[in-house]
């Protein structure tokens, strides 16, 4: 189940990378207040009406949504964002809340969806979201940008925003005056990247495979991309398996060590594969191999093979009939029903892990 979820997440990531990121100059944030009406003649950004669901509409918003009471905290790879959205207009605002990371030049490092939002006209609502952000991106971020868009438009950036743009520092503090406006990096090409020190490994006899490689930006601008590992029965044949393996955003001339899991659709194919090829490009596995992107070819390490049935990453087996309780025949325990009154109390929705991402509307 974990491996399937991981593959699904990767597939969504490839689709997201296929979107074109476009940005307009942002504006300095203002304190959000339901009683304040934006200047109808000078909207913060030119975007579609917050109440419109017509993807073709691009009318300026006279009263865009506003962020306030923003709190940001990062623990491990999770970034928790709490924020209030105020809708000063009469039309309902709905879509997605978005977060993007920017470098010291204001260039986009990574854009991602926080969660869906709905705010009725002339009301406010508070939301709490979590999103995973790897160290590869977070350590490069100089500013963080919050905005809202119509559904599935986060990667389109400021031109599709339905809110004012709210800039802050990775520490959670407001961005100081004079902070550079967010803007898109130039488009990248496969020839902008080169890879080295490629290593593929397997933990014991398990189905836990990983790849580590160094990717370098050969260009004079910031470029972003993702890796794609393709596996072949013989060199020159059509690939038998392909899987995304890490994404990255690199400053001019910089390099990064990328480590990621390798997930095949069928792990038994590891016994058939003899040749591997790592590609790096703007769209990873969405890009076809060609003369401009021949990839980095190498032989599959001889010690890597299909997983042994019932063996986990630590090398422990789980043979049929094996007792995993940690008890042996000498342990005396009662497997009968619990006495009346000794059962577990029913869980509340909160105890069971329930709850919603938004608090009550104001």
Residue 242 has pLDDT above 70, yes or no: yes
Please give the Cα distance from 150 to 263 (Å, whole number): 33
CA distance 105 to 112: 19
Express each pLDDT in 302-350 by its tens digit: 999 999 987 775 655 554 444 444 444 444 444 444 433 333 333 333 3
> Looking at the predicted structure, is the pLDDT value of residue 257 above 70?
yes
Residue 166: pLDDT band by 50, 70, 90 thresholds?
Answer: very high
> What does the DSSP 8-state code read for residue 319?
-
Residue 359 pLDDT > 70: no
Secondary structure class of 190 (helix, strand, coil): helix
> What would the pLDDT profile of 82-121 be if each residue is shown by its tens digit?
999 999 999 999 999 999 999 999 999 999 999 999 999 9
Percent of the chain at pLDDT above 70? 69
What is the C-alpha to C-alpha distance for residues 329 and 286, in angstroms, rounded to an integer?
56
The closest alpha carbon to 44, from 24, 26, 21, 18, belongs to: 26
Query: 192 pLDDT exceeds 60?
Result: yes
Average pLDDT over residues 130-134: 94
Q: Which residues make Cβ contacts (< 8 Å) with residue 44, sequence separation at least 6?
A: 27, 38, 61, 64, 164, 165
pLDDT of 22 over the 50 cut: no
323 to 194, 207, 319, 320, 328: CA distances (angstroms) = 50, 22, 9, 9, 8
């Amino acid at each position: 189940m974990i491996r399937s979820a991981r593959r699904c997440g990767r597939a969504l990531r490839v689709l997201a990378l296929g979107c074109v990121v476009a940005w307009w100059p942002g504006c300095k944030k203002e304190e959000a207040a339901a009683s304040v009406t934006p200047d109808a003649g000078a909207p913060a950004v030119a975007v579609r009406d917050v109440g419109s669901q017509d993807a073709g509409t691009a009318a300026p918003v006279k009263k865009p949504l506003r962020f306030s009471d923003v709190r940001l905290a990062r623990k491990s790879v999770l970034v928790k964002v709490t924020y209030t959205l105020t809708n000063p207009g009469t039309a309902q605002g709905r879509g997605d809340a978005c977060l993007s990371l920017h470098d010291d030049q204001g260039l986009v490092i990574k854009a991602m969806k926080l969660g869906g939002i709905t705010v009725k006209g002339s009301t406010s609502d508070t939301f709490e979201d979590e999103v995973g952000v790897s160290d590869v991106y977070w350590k490069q971020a100089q500013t963080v940008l919050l905005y809202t868009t119509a559904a599935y438009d986060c990667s389109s950036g400021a031109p599709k925003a339905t809110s004012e743009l709210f800039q802050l520092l990775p520490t959670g503090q407001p961005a100081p005056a004079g902070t550079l406006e967010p803007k898109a990096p130039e488009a990248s090409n496969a020839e902008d990247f080169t890879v080295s020190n490629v290593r593929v490994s397997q933990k014991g006899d398990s189905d836990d495979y990983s790849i580590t490689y160094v990717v370098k930006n050969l260009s004079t601008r910031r470029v972003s991309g993702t890796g794609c590992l393709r596996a072949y029965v013989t060199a020159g044949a059509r690939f038998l398996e392909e899987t995304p393996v890490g994404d990255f955003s690199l400053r001019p001339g910089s390099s990064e060590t990328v480590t990621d899991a390798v997930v095949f659709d069928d792990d038994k194919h590891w016994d058939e594969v003899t040749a591997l090829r790592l590609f790096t490009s703007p769209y990873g596995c969405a890009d076809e191999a060609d003369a401009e992107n021949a990839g980095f070819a190498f032989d599959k390490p001889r010690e890597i093979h299909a997983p042994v049935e019932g063996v986990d990453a630590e090398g422990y087996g789980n043979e049929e009939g094996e007792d995993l309780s940690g008890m042996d025949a000498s342990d005396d325990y009662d497997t009968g029903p619990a006495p009346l009154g000794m059962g577990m109390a029913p869980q509340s929705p909160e105890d069971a892990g329930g709850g919603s991402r938004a608090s009550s509307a104001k």
